[in-house]
Amino acid sequence: MSSSRGGGRGGGGPRGGGRGGNRSNNNGNSRNNNNNSNSNSNNNSNGNFKPNNPPPPKANGELGAASFVISESSKIRFTTLLTQFRDSPTPDMKMPTDLTNTERKYIHELARGLGLKSKSEGKAPNRFIKVWKTTQTAVSRDVETIPSYSLPPKFSFTTPSVKLSQKTYSAPPAPSPPKPPQSSNPNLPPPFPDPTENLPAFSHLDQIIETVSSHKVTLITGSTGCGKSTQIPKYLYRAFPRCNMIVTQPRRISATSLSARVKEEMNDNLGVVGHSVRLSNNCGKSTRIKFVTPAILIQQLNNVAEYTHVIVDEVHERECYTDFLLIALRDLIENLNVKLILMSATLNVEVMREYFGGCGEVHMEGRTFPVQSFFLEDVLRATKYVSNDDNNIEKELEKKGFKEEKFRCEFCSRGFVGVEELGAHYGVCVGGGVGGIQMDFGKVEDRLRAGIDNPVKRPAKAEQDEYEDYEEYEEYEEYDEDGDEDDDGDAPPGVWDGVSEFTVVKDTTVTDDDLVSTYQARFNDDDVDYDLILALLGYIMTVSTSEDAILIFLPGWYDICKLGNELEGGGFSDPRKYKVLQLHSGVPANEQREVFKRPPKGCRKIILSTNIAETSVTIDDISFVIDSVKAKEKGYDPHLGTATLATQWISEASAMQRRGRAGRCKAGVCFHLVSKRRFKVLRGFLESELLRTPLESLCILTKRLNLAPGPYEGVDGIPAFLAKAIDQPHEKSIANAVERLIEIGACDDEKNQLTGLGWKLGGLSVDVRYGKAAIWGLILGVSHSTTLIAVTSSTKDPFNLPRPYQKNAAEAAKLSLAAGSQSDQICLLNAASKFSNSKRTGRGNVTGNSHRFCNDHFLSANALQTVVDTVHTMSRELTSVNLPSPLKAGHHTRNDGREDLIAACMCAGLYPNILRREAGESNYSTALNRKCKIHASSVNALGGSPLSRKSQTGEWLVYHECIKGPNSFQVRGVARIWDILPILIFCGTMGVRECEDEGMQIVTVDEWIAFKMAEPEIESLKKMRGKMDEVFIKFTENNGKLSEGDWKAVDEVCSCLKQGYEKKRKEGAAASVFVGNGGGGGDSKAGDWTCPKCRVNNFASRQKCFKCNAAKR
């Protein structure tokens, strides 16, 4: 167990123990204005495209072409070396001394991206790079910078001081999960039609039954479309009439849709087939095939012996609850008469075979046509993207008068040992091309066969940051759409017919290595090369018919918008010839459904998608796949203790999944935009989500199910249990999770057992921190508000991603929902509340007013409907753990809507996720002194928010999570704390230090939040904190009941919080008036007006709001 755990309050209290932390300084990059220059293009008869300019400089001034000095193999080697070091216990390491300057620069950037520190030490020739890990230390403030704070002027607190109990709260006995229904129908199963015989699964029927009968564990692999998910439960039911089967699917929509499909195929009118997922359960006493999510089965583990067959589907997705389930099932089935069947499209059979100690195996081929794979070398040859006469850049440089000897920069006189270092330096020194060294990047060829006037503009860094701020990890969604039958006619001469072998022109005058090296000298292939994709599209146009749809896999929303704008703004703007579609989870559902429709004859469908199309979407008319071999992946860095979001090379299994999107109706072709060398060293499979997510919820689950009853370091402790996973989580991830549970008071520090609060939080389906905030909401009387916020913050973001031309309108809509609160939580609360209110005229359906409301505010009706339904589920969960329902009007909703109390609940639940910013500063600092910026999806990052500009008065904020991006730390789910009193009352461990100012002392919270206060006020604050500690413990232990005196004390605190909030809100409003400029700047003047829609100020001369275009009133 980590030794960094602080002492402080007892684990069972409302705050838990003190906290440690690590320190990391990453300054956020400011956004710069974007200036894109137009370039010309020339036409050639061969129909190929090449960029007419070298890649432009990077944001830091380095030439894009400078990456040629680092070979691909060196990049792979450095990345592997530093990644292994980061995950090892070694505190520091030294890199070799024989590195070039550019290699050193690459290592420094790579180390920073991995959350490591690096520094060059020594002198040539013994100069080396030292790399080390950060340490966890909270940062205290200098006494000189500590501001003073006074309690509200009318403050009084008459309740006597109460000392916080240090009692260790023993865990109550685990409630028994509901038992699966027992059979009440001894008759044979009802007849149902035979399965479709053309499904591959049908030909393996006998093998499946025999293998399952003779093995405890069976592994079944089969490509998408083979029928394993729908047919195998039916086969087992027919072979074992008295079976009781449970089938897990990783997503709710998969479980419900498959249940309906199987029920229909079996002609089931007796309830034999059913589903049980969050928000929906149609199982009954006759149910024998139950489709569930892994989380539902985990809750029933104590009664798993009631089932005869447990089927775990889609194992390859490595979802955290699925992997958690496999740990428990492996131990449980040894002594039970239960058959375990694991199914997947790309299962790592060897790993599973070793994990379960011998298994039966069945493999089925999918019902698809052959798909050919091509790689970067083939694409470069086919498109002639790199010409033969420029494949040796060093020779070209030598022709300009440079020799392989000592070089010197003509601008700063700095010397270099080689031309590579000089080329890289020029980009940094002059911020542009290599001075007089202008490389000939080939002749300008036709932009595409269809003709595109403007070549792709390489994105300026500020522009890319703006889009990347919106990026999220793509949550897979399930689609149940079928395409029409293919009706292609004969292909014209010289065009691929979709049946015969697809061939790429072979150019033997240049080797693969030379071709790739030349390409990588000009472009950093860690990025997405839009020029190359356009060139490849042009090539595909010349060798295929318009009926051949094209699916392009891109990492994220920025890449989709960038390529989409280029396509639609150029030769692909004619809707009669091209239908360009975007597929992303943030795109409205009606637009997502367009990808399944076939365009009119003669119109080519081009789909730009993220990894959402890997496994969740089946589009029948896809003939060509262009795979960037990259994806936005959200992870978790245990060393930094924070989430990460970065573009990563995908796994080989994911690449094969993308390849399989083609070939549904005829043969297909997949172009992987990666070299064969790089492809060979890709990860075999995606790592388990256990390695990529915080583990607080799973740690609570482990304790609640009694799977790890012992102490932390024991053989039956949490680390020992999770170490049995297929992919063992990092020990620091487990330590961080337990540390966090101790901080919020859910786990006892000494015995490592759940407290009374921990048991209640484990019964809620939301993040444990928001669960605690919701309980505080019951106490402070804002329970309905905090429950809504807890649900919206723990589910999919309800805001749809706007098109570029809709951006201003979308921002204005979001600002209107925030209503000046400067709070993302209030924005979500208002969105959900107004949606619910708008539905009252629609008789419970998402129609009429609710539809218009969602369209006007760029909201997803489906996501909000899920929120409304989940609130009712959470209400039932709260009552199941003996707490009041937040939906019943009464004492627990007496203050609903009060922003001061909502903010107090957020502080109590989310602490230590607190930000501070001093007056005059632009960046925010976390408790660990990390410099960060607000995520662009936040209402507080929009131009109309005072928090998006330099601070005038200094601010405190609470946030949902901190994400480490490629360039900076960003915080999401941000709310302003107008008055610091909620932090002083509800957060951390309070301390008092001496102060030189007469009559004053320094009050601290965990030694990093500090204020000077008068001594009498400090005594009042101590009483208030003590009483709130006592109230919280009583409330959670006494099933939500408090004495009349306790409720009176709570109301006194609420009154005090209101006074402080109103005072600071008034002061802040006066200091934070936004100067609307319509494109300019300056101070407010007479006649300036505030927009009634988005609350942005505008100059008197403007008749319409510059932000949302609303008319002046």
Tell me which residue of 333, 332, 312 sits closest to 323, measured CA to CA: 312
Can you read off the two tokens belonging to residue 565? 């704008």
Find out whether 305 and 322 touch, Cβ atoms under 8 Å: no
pLDDT score at 1024? 92
Give the residue from 387, 347, 386 showing the smallest Cα distance to 364: 347
3-state helix, strand, coil split of the chain in percent (to 5) is 40, 15, 50
Strand runs (DSSP E) across 507-562, as ranges? 549-553
Q: For position 27, what pLDDT does the model report? A: 40
What is the residue-averaged pLDDT of the chain? 77
How would you classify the pairing of strands 289-292 and 245-248?
A: parallel
Pairing of strands 280-281, 217-222: unpaired
Domain boundaries, the chain: 51-91+368-391+449-639+647-674, 200-364, 1073-1113
At 1033, the amino acid letter reads I
pLDDT digits (tens, 9 = 90+) for 596-614: 888 888 899 999 999 888 8
Q: Work out whether the CA dihedral 829, 831, 832, 833 comes out positive or negative.
A: positive
CB 655 within 8 A of CB 682: yes
Is the CA virtual torsion 202, 205, 206, 208 positive or negative?
A: positive
Mean pLDDT of 421-441: 38
Q: How far is CA 768 from CA 4, 117, 397, 742, 793, in A?
A: 21, 32, 60, 12, 12
Query: What pLDDT was estimated at residue 69?
Result: 54
- What is the mean pLDDT of the segment spanning 709-719? 91
C-alpha distances out from residue 20 to 7, 337, 927, Å: 10, 47, 10
Check residue 606 and report its DSSP letter. Answer: E
Closest listed residue to residue 582, CA positions, set 603, 553, 602? 553
pLDDT of residue 971: 93
For 51-91+368-391+449-639+647-674, which CATH class? alpha beta
Q: Mean of the pLDDT values across residues 996-1006? A: 87
Which tokens is 1075 given?
């100067």
* 299-348 per-position pLDDT tens digit: 899 889 999 999 999 888 888 999 999 999 998 888 888 999 999 887 78
- Counting residues of the chain whose pLDDT is more than 90, the rounded percentage is 36
pLDDT digits (tens, 9 = 90+) for 896-917: 999 999 999 999 999 999 999 9
Question: Tell me: the pLDDT tens digits for 1073-1093?
Answer: 433 333 333 344 556 677 776
Residue, of 390 and 104, whose pLDDT is higher? 104
Write the DSSP string, 342-410.
EEESS--HHHHHHHHTS-EEEEE--S---EEEE-HHHHHHHHT-S-GGGS-HHHHHHHTT--SS-EE-T
Per-residue model confidence (pLDDT) at position 4? 38
How far, in whole angstroms, is CA 409 from its chain's centroid? 44
**344 backbone dihedrals φ, ψ, rounded to 5°:** -165, 160
Give me 1097's structure tokens. 């100020």
**Strands ordered across the beta sheet of 1009-1014:** 990-994, 1000-1005, 1009-1014
Topology match between the domains 51-91+368-391+449-639+647-674 and 200-364: yes
Res 311: pLDDT: 96
User: Which token pair is 707?
Assistant: 């799977």
Q: What is the mean pLDDT of residues 1008-1022?
A: 89
- Say how many residues make up the chain: 1113
* Fold entry, domain 200-364: Rossmann fold (3.40.50)
pLDDT band at 175 (very low <50, low <70, confident <90, very high): very low
- Is the pLDDT at 982 greater than 60? The verdict is yes
Q: Report d(CA 344, CA 362) in Å as an integer.
A: 11
Range from 95-109, 641-655, 1019-1033 carrying the lowest mean pLDDT: 95-109
